[in-house]
Amino acid sequence: ATALDVAHLAAEAGMSVATFHDHFRDVTGTSPMQYVKSTRLHQARLLMLRQGMTAEAASLAVGYASPSQFNREFKRLFGLPPAAEVARMRRSFAVPPAPAGAL
């Protein structure tokens, strides 16, 4: 995953960083960094659910350098640790386990 550079995004949009941040928040309801964090956590959840990745592998795949930081942020967003959330989704949505060797 690529690091987000808000200054670069603002320049691409022809705005100051503050103006870009304000417009982004108006449109999405969140800051650019919070949006990226949420997107990465949702993607990691899908990787664990659909491909059977471990939380550590999924965290690295979406750009986290620290699996422990990923686990804290995942639980903060979804209310459960990664393995428990994936198990909950499997039960709630009748998602079969990932096939062996799906990685």
**Which amino acid is it at 46?**
L
pLDDT tens, 37-76?
A: 999 999 999 999 999 999 999 999 999 999 999 999 999 9
CA atoms within 13 A on the CB side of 42: 6
Query: Tokens representing 52?
Result: 């059977």
C-alpha dihedral (15, 27, 45, 6), degrees to nearest 10: 10
User: Phi then psi for 52, rounded to 5 degrees?
Assistant: 70, 20
Residues 6+ apart with CB under 8 A from 24: 31, 32, 35
CA atoms within 13 A on the CB side of 74: 27
Domain positions in the chain are 6-93
Going by pLDDT thresholds of 50, 70 and 90, the confidence category of residue 100 is low
* Region at 4 (left for phi over 0; alpha for psi -120 to 50; beta for the rest): beta
Whether the predicted model's global pTM rises above the 0.75 cut: yes
Give the model's pLDDT for residue 5. 82
User: Which fold does the domain 6-93 belong to in CATH?
Assistant: Arc Repressor Mutant, subunit A (1.10.10)
Give the model's pLDDT for residue 39. 94
